[in-house]
Chains A and B, each alone.
Chain A
Amino acid sequence: MDILSTGLSRRRFLQASGTAGALGAVGLGGGALTTLREAEAQAATTPGETRITKNICHQCPARCGIDVYTTNGRVHAIYGTADHPISNGKLCPKGPLGTYILYDPDRFKGPMKRTNPNKGRNEDPGFVPISWEEALDTVAERLNTLRDQGESHRFALCYGRGWGASCAGLQGTFGSLYGSPNVAIGHSSMCSDGSIISKKALDGVGGYNAYDYANANMLLMFGVGFLEAFRPYNNNMQVWGYIRGVKVPKTRITAVDIHINTTLAGSDRALMIKPGTDGALALAIAHVILTEGLWERSFVGDFTDGVNRFKTGERVSPSLFEEKWVKGLVDWWNTELKDRTPAWAAEITDLYERDILATAREFGTTRPSIALFERGAHAHSNGVLNGMAIHALNALVGSLYAKGGLMSQMGPSYGPMPVDAKDFMDDYALNGPWKTQPRIDLKGHKDGYLLANNMLQELGPNSLAGNPYKLDTVMFYQTNPIWTAPNGQVWEEALKEVFVIDTSPFPGETAMFADLILPDHTYLERLQDAPTYPFQGWPMTQLRVPAIAPLYDTQYFGDTLIEIGKRIKGPMGDYYKALDNTENVIRHLAKGFATDPGDNGVNDFESWKEKGVWYKKPYIYRFVDGEFYTWDGQDYAILMTEEEVKESLFKTDSGKFELRSGWLESNADWIARKTGRDPRTLMFPHWEEPVHPGGGDLYMVTPKVAMHAEGRGANIPIAIATLQPVLGGRKTAYIEINPQTARARGIANGSRVRLSSDLGSIEGYCKYYEGCRPDTIVFPMEHGHWAMGRWAKDRLPGHCGEITVNQSDRITGQCSYYTTKVSIEAV
């Protein structure tokens, strides 16, 4: 039979040869048998009409505008919005997965209450469906009772990825009307407060920076994960394509991390540093910049006679140096920098002296340049010092508010809320007993974390210990601390004795300890505002528009909060009745655009829905040749006074970039008492050995990877299959281990291993990787869920949080995720 020329159809071939079953059986999976019915020839079909709605991706903080494609009532595609300044029509690898999140078969289908009073990992909560009325009434009754008893402070509301004024933005008002210092507690200390607060110590601003990468000629990245996870990831990659492939001159990049990831692989110089020593590297770079006279004189200032006296090991008289926009440079040199040579740093960091010197010279001579860092550098006991040392480099090269430098983010022109909460404060809200209660996490308290912004990781342990008190009821929005907190086992005990309300659309570890489930919509079903995270400085805010009606009996968290508020007795209830619902809130926010329309013409609610984004360029501040200017409509032409700079740009006591931090100095007694630091030097960026708890002999670093879809990646099969490409993961995420480390312990490539710290142990499969430091174990933190859904369940490696000691930076409150040391053994 000449099968090549007969044009034999598949159906006819199967009928004629009788091989249908045999062929099908070749397949390994179930359901592989080919039947005649399946083999019928099938013709093309024409799809129905496709509708595109605007939304904002939910899978990381970047806030990429997305176009959501819906045909025949089904969402089937997501692409970047072409005229959105962050996404510009592009996506990161997570973006397309939104459809899987919407149709996740493990979603909660509606409000539920717990029927099993016992809580634990192995306890079935016995959730039964209830009505929204019953659910909301139950919450309101508990809250009203607490308030009646003068114990409203025992209600806490914790949130993670808050989005905007119509969700997380409502929480603070709820707290002040209701009367609890614990409404709301954000997760920033478990995110990257170490970055925010170490910068605040120097520049007084206290926010993540916006960056002008496209105009920079050198980037020096410390533990950033620029091509894996650093927000806004999608735009970072767009910038990367430009500065590395199009821009002339090509931007030089040095990346510092503890293993070779895609960022280090793509950079000009990869520095694999010993964990927790990034500050030593930064100090040595600063040393070289000063000794070799490479600092930016128009920002920093100069010796009065122009002769450089920064010589290694030699003190300098402060009177000889005239500072411009910095304060304390010579003091810093005399107390710390004069001895911080590359040779010294080489010993600390385990890098080569020649590489440190080359990095310093390149950074000091290639303008504009930016030094950026995140959790890799500051999630250690010395984090604030590492962060300050790195951020100080930006001052030395004059990058603050400069073209090709870094700046602060401006907020959007929102209209006022429908009603003013101040008009609805009763006496309890103004003067109730809650006013004298500390926050449960002891944030802002001398016995806790006086200078921190939040301390969510302390909430569970503190409530369990009854110090300062025990919580009665706790509600969670977009956070799952039993899984995300270090040593989450303590949270499991804590939440056994607290009434827990979870609002996630999905099952999770914290939800398994919940007494009430009030499930949110997923993001493609929501109407939700979302001002940008720090991006390029100019203001921007975005809108999620529902692509389809909610699939299940869920409710947007903002409306859940408003509905609870309506049920609180007194004027607070009246406030929420006046607020009505989140759409009303969002419509009022959009009224601010009427007098300040966006560059894309958005001037009201309807046009915002249509475009999905309001933004207004340019950024209004700029540093040029030694002075600061504001935008006059055509150019940076309006000279700022020193007072204006202090008010808007350097919010320190001196109005300068304080290399000698006045903020830390004013708290020197408390810092010295809590950290043991020398009160004479603790206000300077300086070197301090990090403290590594855990009892092991290897550092454990657990980065967020590119496929880590926040809050849900662990249960998305396609994300699981592509989570860790570097080691050829497919269905397995591996623990990276240097071959020499493994062989010394008798651990074979690909074998099952156990990681242990003082807290316990987890298991997983390891893979040899020469790109991993011999003293460090690396694996993604995404897996090890036990209650997130069918695909996430028990997937190895186990969860790093279970062997991560709850240790925080005393100044920033940053949870030191990457500082625990562990041991590894073959199983």
Chain B
Amino acid sequence: MAKWGMVIDLDTCTGCQACTTACAMENNRLPGENWQDVLFYHEGTYPNVKLMWFPRPCMHCENPSCVSVCPTKATYKDPDGGFVLMDYNKCIGCKYCQVACPYGVRFYVDEKAVVQPDIRGVFPSEAGRQWDPPYKGPQDDPSRGIGIQPHGVVSKCTFCYHKVSKAPKGVADLDEDIPELKEYVPACVRVCAPKARFFGDLDQPQSMVNKLIADKRGVRLKDETGNKPQVYYLSGGATASVPSLRSMNDSGQS
């Protein structure tokens, strides 16, 4: 049984947001409701200004606080792979998980559309789902939070379960540059042009993700929460870095 993990190299991430849009395409995301977001920060005074960015998927924590608080066991940790998934058939939309998640990567689906007019009204669903765009992905598994959401639920990144779970058993790394593996790689990893993302099995010592975490000092975001993310960040501080409190407190910041 694999424990899938992601490594994001902030030194080579170019902040292009291809991860965001590829995820949107693969997982039918609504505009502005990014399972995989890139957050931008800046600090300093002209002409010495530091612009930084931080790509943020669901951390698929080993000890996820969202799972602990879910009253219906709608969100759960899949022991085979370590995915944190949603079962829309069980979700009651109470949003406890949204509050409990330290990383802000859960979304209640019935929010007002960020971009108006609401695209859900342009492609309405006749099957009780949020919407029904002609370009929606063919995969649909509500018990794992895959496919277009029904109303009244919370949605989240699946680590592209519909791809990763079909990977050949025992593979240590899902590297998009290996032709026979590319279809099993999460969308955000597969498109990443500077190859700032790596995806592999944290339980296999020989995996590239483990090597990178060791050699390049991989860190987990907000490790003090004890959530133990399965997403690690590499940062030599050159291109982007983990946002500091200094930047968060700056006026005019989001």
Contact = CB atoms under 8 A, between A and B. Distances in A.
A48 B112 contact: no
Contact of B17 (A722, A771, A790): A722
Contacts of B187: 96
A44 B114 contact: no
B42 A770 contact: yes
Given A100-B135, A717-B119, A721-B31, A89 B42 contact: no
B9 interface: yes
A91 B18 contact: yes
Interface string B143-156: 11010001111000
A721 B114 contact: yes
Interface centre among B47, B52, B137 (most CB of A within 10 A): B47
A768 B47 CA distance: 14
Interface in B41-64: 42, 44-47, 49-53
Contacts of A633: none
Q: Chain B, interface size: which category?
A: 35 or more
A170 interface: no
A706 interface: yes
B40 A44 contact: no
A121 interface: no
Interface in A250-300: 260-262, 264-266, 272
Given A23-B94, A90-B193, A731-B32, A227 B119 contact: no
| Chain B binding surface, main DSSP class | loop
A32 B17 contact: no
A790 B118 CA distance: 10
Interface stretch (A2-10, A209-217, A480-488, A816-824): A2-10
A34 B117 contact: no
A96 B24 contact: yes
B138 A72 contact: yes
A774 B49 CA distance: 13
Contact of A262 (B15, B34, B91): B15
Given A738-B46, A771-B49, A240 B194 contact: yes
Interface in A20-59: 20, 23-24, 26-35, 37-45, 47-48, 50
Given A77-B26, A727-B40, A749 B251 contact: yes
A266 B239 contact: yes
A768 B153 CA distance: 37
Contacts of B29: 718
A499 B108 CA distance: 51
Interface string B70-91: 0111100000000000011111
Contact of B194 (A82, A237, A730, A731): A237
B65 interface: no
Which 10 residue pairs across A and B have the least CB separation, nearest first? A27-B110, A241-B194, A47-B138, A728-B254, A38-B128, A237-B193, A44-B141, A99-B135, A721-B32, A96-B25
17 contacts: A10-B88, A27-B152, A29-B112, A29-B120, A38-B150, A75-B135, A76-B135, A96-B25, A244-B11, A244-B12, A245-B11, A262-B53, A265-B52, A266-B239, A728-B253, A738-B46, A772-B46
Interface of A: 3-4, 7-11, 13-14, 19-20, 23-24, 26-35, 37-45, 47-48, 50, 71-72, 74-80, 82-83, 88-97, 99-100, 102-103, 105, 227, 233-235, 237-238, 240-242, 244-245, 260-262, 264-266, 272, 706-707, 717-722, 725-728, 730-731, 738-740, 749-750, 767-774, 790-791
Given A26-B110, A227-B15, 16 more contacts: A13-B92, A23-B152, A29-B120, A48-B138, A74-B135, A77-B25, A79-B22, A89-B182, A90-B193, A94-B21, A96-B21, A707-B17, A717-B119, A718-B21, A719-B21, A771-B46
Interface of B: 9, 11-12, 14-18, 20-22, 24-26, 29, 31-32, 34, 38, 40, 42, 44-47, 49-53, 71-74, 87-95, 108-123, 128-129, 133-144, 146, 150-153, 176-177, 179, 182, 187, 190-196, 238-240, 251-254
